């Protein structure tokens, strides 16, 4: 079995390499992709959309459909992760660990035992105990605001520099993941509950699709942002630039929420109770 797998792998890999030999060389100006489509984008993107970063103009404006369905793919991935991993049935765990804060004593309470309330005296800690270091907590607390500001900058500045909704959303989601690692999963869920995350996820996709529908109300094609000019009180070219920003914000929200959902479900095996 292993031998046949190896042989078929080598055969298909060789076929792939043989096919790749026919590609035009990297950066060839006479290749079909660089001789028909790319010149149009490079020459017209600043005139059409007033966006200096051609990649953003192509992604969110000329190829708006592609990006919208990419966002929907990510949204679907988040939903599927919830359906596959989330266990809604509350099952009492084998044992729970509590720390009595004034004395530092750790209590292990077996199944069926009386569980103390979370208060200033008792603290629920993970059974796979991770010592919560003061240095880690303080560093996370100091660094997270800067990460979030940087994420917003990446989303908003995608017109002028590399970046955009996807990258900014991932960085924003990473800041919540860092919070969950530095503190614990329960305090992260307390900050941003599962329902809010799911709502933001759907809202992001809705903003993107809704912008397209809004364009249709102004008698233009779907996702033709220049039609939004009367609404945004600008000329059609600037309206396309603003439209790109609006959909990038939608993409960022959806991606951020999906990253957080994936982390919540993967790290706690769908129980949202004790996790990394």
Burial degree of 68 (CB within 10 A; 0-12, 13-18, 19+) = buried
Shortest reach from residue 268's CB to other proteins, in Å = 8
Shortest reach from residue 216's CB to other proteins, in Å = 29
CB distance 162 to 249 below 8 Å: no
Shortest reach from residue 26's CB to other proteins, in Å = 7
Residue 99: in which H helix or E strand, if any? Answer: strand 95-100
Measured between alpha carbons, how far is 28 from 3 in angstroms, rounded to an integer?
40
Shortest reach from residue 185's CB to other proteins, in Å = 10
Measured between alpha carbons, how far is 44 from 182 in angstroms, rounded to an integer?
47
Measured between alpha carbons, how far is 92 from 94 in angstroms, rounded to an integer?
7
DSSP secondary structure string for all residues of 126-157: -SS-----HHHHHHHHHHHHHHHHHHHHHHHT
Beta carbons within 8 Å of 115's beta carbon, 6+ residues apart: 96, 98, 109
Nearer to other proteins, 249 or 262 (CB): 262
Shortest reach from residue 55's CB to other proteins, in Å = 5
Nearer to other proteins, 15 or 269 (CB): 269
Shortest reach from residue 197's CB to other proteins, in Å = 15
Measured between alpha carbons, how far is 250 from 200 in angstroms, rounded to an integer?
9
Nearer to other proteins, 246 or 262 (CB): 262
Nearer to other proteins, 107 or 147 (CB): 147
Q: Which of 274, 276, 271 is nearest to 95 (CA)?
A: 274
Nearer to other proteins, 226 or 268 (CB): 268
Shortest reach from residue 181's CB to other proteins, in Å = 8
Contacts with other proteins, residue ranges (CB under 8 A): 26, 53, 55-56, 128, 162-164, 166-167, 170-171, 173-174, 177, 181, 259, 262-263, 266-267, 269, 275-276
Q: Is 123 helix (H, G, I), strand (E, B) or coil?
A: strand
Nearer to other proteins, 64 or 275 (CB): 275
Nearer to other proteins, 148 or 167 (CB): 167
**CA 52 to the chain's CA centroid:** 25
């Amino acid at each position: 079995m292993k031998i046949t797998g190896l042989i078929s792998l080598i055969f298909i890999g060789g076929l792939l390499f043989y096919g790749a030999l026919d590609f035009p060389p990297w950066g060839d100006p006479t290749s079909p992709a660089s001789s028909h489509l790319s010149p149009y984008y490079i020459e017209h993107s600043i005139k059409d959309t007033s966006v200096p970063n051609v990649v953003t103009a192509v992604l969110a404006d000329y190829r708006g459909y592609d990006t919208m369905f990419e966002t929907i793919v990510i949204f679907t991935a988040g939903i599927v992760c919830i359906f596959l991993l989330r266990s809604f049935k509350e099952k009492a765990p084998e044992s729970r660990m509590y720390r009595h804060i004034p004395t530092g004593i750790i209590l292990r309470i077996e199944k069926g035992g009386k569980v103390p309330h979370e208060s200033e005296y008792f603290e629920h800690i993970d059974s796979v105990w991770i010592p919560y270091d003061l240095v880690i907590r303080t560093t996370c607390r100091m660094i997270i605001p800067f990460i979030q500001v940087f994420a917003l900058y990446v989303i908003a500045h995608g017109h002028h520099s590399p970046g955009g909704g996807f990258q900014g959303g991932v960085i924003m989601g990473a800041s919540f993941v860092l919070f969950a690692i530095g503190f614990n999963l329960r305090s992260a869920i307390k900050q941003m509950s599962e329902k809010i995350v799911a709502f933001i996820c759907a809202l992001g996709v809705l903003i993107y699709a809704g912008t397209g529908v809004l364009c249709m109300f102004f008698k233009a094609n779907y996702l033709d942002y220049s039609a939004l000019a009367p609404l945004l009180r600008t000329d059609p070219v600037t309206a396309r630039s603003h439209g790109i920003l609006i959909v990038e914000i939608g993409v960022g929200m959806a991606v951020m929420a999906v990253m957080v959902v994936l982390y919540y479900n993967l790290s706690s095996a769908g129980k949202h109770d004790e996790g990394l």
